[in-house]
Amino acid sequence: MKLNKSFHIYGLFQQRMKIKGILIMVMLIVFQSAQAEGEQSPDFIRSIGKIYVVAGVCLIILVTLFIYMIQLDRKISKIEKRQKNE
């Protein structure tokens, strides 16, 4: 299988946004939406035996691990690029 550079998913936001910026944005959105939900229906997260807490925990774990993997992937691609140039 042959892929060109633009297919690489990080090419989408590689230019300006660093992964940290994205991370901060995601965090802000999550926190804000969590607060907004809290205002509307105070018991949303506690409903159904607090199942949404478990959902949140799983989401945090998966998202963090994925972000970490993406960062690692970026690092490796950078090394590969440098090695190719030499």
Partner 1 sequence: MQEPTIHLSFRLAAWKWATMGILIAVFIAGWIVPLKSGIIKVTPDKAAAGEMLVVDVTGYNSSFLTDTSLLRAWLRLSGDTVIMATRIQVTGDRNLSARFYIPSVFPIRQEAYPLTLVLDHSQDGTSVLPNAIFITPALAQDTSELKLWFKDKIESVHEKAGIQYPFRNILAETIRNTYFHVPMWFAMIILFGVSAWYSLKYYQQGLIDFDRKSIAFIKVGLIFGLLGLVTGMLWAKYTWNAYWSWDVKQNMSAIALLIYAALMVMRSSVEDDMQKARLTAGYNMFAFVLLIPLLFIIPRMTDSLHPGNGGNPALGGEDLDNTMRMVFYPAVIGFIMLGLWMSQLVYRTDKLKGNQ
Q: Is 36 in the site for partner 1 (CB under 8 A)?
A: no
* DSSP 8-state symbol, 67: H
Residues that bind partner 1 (rule: CB under 8 A) add up to a total of 30
Tell me the C-alpha distance between 82 and 11, whole Å.
Answer: 17
The encoded tokens of residue 67 equal 């972000």
Closer by beta carbon to partner 1, 12 or else 48: 48
Cβ proximity to partner 1: between 29 and 51 the closer is 51
CA distance 35 to 32: 5
CB atoms within 10 A of CB 54: 10
Sites of contact with partner 1 (CB under 8 A): 1-4, 45-46, 48-51, 53-54, 56-58, 60-61, 64-65, 68-69, 72, 75-76, 79-80, 82-84, 86
